[in-house]
Structure 1
Amino acid sequence: MTDKIDKVSGPADTPPAGTLPPEAIRAIPVRHYGRWVSAIVTIVLVAAVGYAFSQGNVRWQTIPEKLFDPSIITGMWHTILISVASMALGLALGVLFAVMRLSKNPVTSTIAWFYIWFFRGTPVYVQLLIWFNLALIFPVLNLGFYKDEMTQVMTPFLAALLGLGLNEGAYMAEIVRAGIQSVDEGQTEASHALGMTQTQTMRRVVLPQAMRVIVPPTGNEFINMLKTSSLVVAVQYADLLRAAQDIAATSFAVMEMFFVASIWYLALTSVFSVGQYFLERRFARGSTRSLPPTPWQKLRSNLQNLSNWRR
């Protein structure tokens, strides 16, 4: 029986004598003409905007001259400082009030709800002005163990920090709360079954798993903080925008200095966006089968697809 099967199956594996093997299939990529049309339309619009600005009364040589002005560089570092400090304060308050909001204690949960309701419901610009003008209703700060004039205590930096940080804490509280609630309740029950306290469970089990949900919106909030920090000009803090305005007041290059400030804001947000991407990629490990490609991998893949399309 085996010999018969070999004799029947043997000739079927090889083509008959005198016949040619089948040709290899040549795959032709699909032509995406819509992409070319959208690219052409975009180029035309960008060229039109560029032509309009070229016809405007703009002293373009002033922009590279003032781009690295010492006062601009100092203001840029002040912007980074107030943004990082405010975000750190907002993150700490966000974790605290998120845990309080989820607490079964009605007092702590009500306090957290009121904090989130108030600071999310009022504009950050108004909050900055309130902190900066607090000396109008409290001329002297008297804490019992510390007493001083409010104008000496509430410096522009402190007013900016409280205005931005407390407002950010309300938004971060909701982000952290959503991240905590995304963790399955069975994780908490298993931790309690192992003898962990509520604090240990939150610190060792819940929060590490919630970071995958918390990190992406937190990165967006920090990038938004970089731009929102321009409002601290209202409390006379010497940030990037304030430095640009001071130079514009003496050089009469108002629009040019706004362009300089915009360039630096774009550069800062771009750098921190790259950092956010790699941070998200790190916390995505273990939750996805394959990590998202890095910007260099995306560029290499796009170039390879373009070369394949030309073929």
Structure 2
Amino acid sequence: MHFDWQFFWKSLFTPSERFLDGLVLTIVISVVAMVLAILVGLVLALLRRSRFAVLRWCASLYIWAVRGTPLLVQLVIIYTGLAAVGLYQFHDVSLFGLSVKAAIQAAIVGLTINESAYIAEIIRAGLDSVPKGQFEAAESLGMKPAKVMRWIIVPQSLRVMVPPMGNSFNGMMKTTSVLSVIGVSEMFLVTQSISSATFHTFEIFIVAALYYLALTTIWTVIQAEIENRLARQLGINQRVRITQRLLGGRRGPAPAEAQV
């Protein structure tokens, strides 16, 4: 048994169409699920802050149940369990001229449900990081709660939320590999198929690992730029450096108020 370098380099630099389709599907599912998870997580976070105990209890129960069970189990329940008990069955649909398979729909729903529970806690922690006195002071000036949240609370809490949210998205892109259990032809399942057909298991899985690494690295660069832009908007003189984020380099200059 030997390492086939020719197959490795060919798969790395000129991957097959099936592999590229799996790569694109991995990205699309991750982005769509993350956007939906942020929306659902925002609702859950606001419910956790509601003055009504029933709403707080429902949101807390959702977060507790989702965070306490594996994603793999959730996917199986959503895709096959609901159909087995006659509650709901996913079917292929046509959306904007594209055919979206049932398994892909279930994958997006499953990832959204799973990730929204974690996003809700990130948003809640971010909102709680802003001193309550600022909210009370703004209300005393006659600002409505929605405007206080929009113009005062959210801009400050975003800088706290973005790093863990970015890490969650990074993790979710890698977690899409478990979608193969319900038959989604994302990058991992395609890699398994190529491995079975060519018997070049080691080579093709290293290629897949490098592509996952490339995806997470690209997102890390984007995330760092988002954090830096938010810092500039808030007047914070501290930059997130790519070398710091990827290789553990030295931190950027400290905020002006910390240099007194």
Pairwise CA distance, 1:289: 5.2
Give the equivalent residue in structure 2 for 1:262: 209
Which of 111, 122, 129 is matched with 1:182 structurally? 129
Equivalent residue, structure 1, for 2:177: 230
Equivalent runs, 1:123-162 vs 2, <5 Å: 123-133=70-80, 134-138=82-86, 141=88, 150-152=89-91, 155-162=102-109
1:111 to 58, 64, 70: 58
Return the letter of the residue paired with 2:11.
K
Taking the aligned partners of 2:129 and 2:187, their CA distance within structure 1 comes to 38
Identity of aligned residues (%): 38
The aligned residue for residue 37 of structure 2 is 90
Q: Counterpart of 1:152 in 2: which secondary structure?
A: coil
Distance 1:174 1:228 in 2: 19
Structure 1 segment 56-71 matched on structure 2, within 5 A: 57-67=2-12, 68-71=15-18
- Aligned to 1:73, what secondary structure does the other structure show? helix
Deviations 1:96-132 (A, max 9, x none): 1011101111011111101100100000111011111
Displacement of 1:290 in angstroms is: 2.6
Q: Distance in 2 between matches of 1:243 and 1:296?
A: 32
* 2:258 aligned residue: none
Structure 2 partner of 1:271: 218
Partner amino acid, structure 2, of 1:245? Q
Structure with max Cα Rg:
1
Aligned letter for 2:51?
K
- The partner residue of 2:231 within 284, 288, 305 is 284
Is 1:204 matched with 2:151?
yes
Q: 1:151 to 1:101 in 2, by over 3 A?
A: closer
Taking a change above 3 Å as real, the CA distance of residues 297 and 254 of structure 1, as seen in their structure-2 partners, is closer
Structure 2 residue matching 1:57: 3-state secondary structure? coil
Displacement of 1:65 in angstroms is 1.7
TM-score (norm 1): 0.71
CA apart distance, 1:174: 0.5
Provide the aligned length of Structure 1 versus Structure 2.
237
Distance 1:215 1:296, change over 3 A: closer
Q: Structure 2: any 5+ residue segments left out of the alignment?
A: 93-100, 251-260
Alignment deviations for residues 151-187 of structure 1 (CA, whole Å, 9 cap, x no partner): 5268111110111111100000000000000011122
Cα RMSD of the aligned pairs, angstroms, is 2.4
For 1:193-228, what per-residue CA distance to the aligned partner results, in whole angstroms no more than 9, with x for missing partners? 233332332223211111010001011011001101
TM-superposed deviation, 1:296? 7.9
Q: 1:214 to 1:289 in 2, by over 3 A?
A: closer
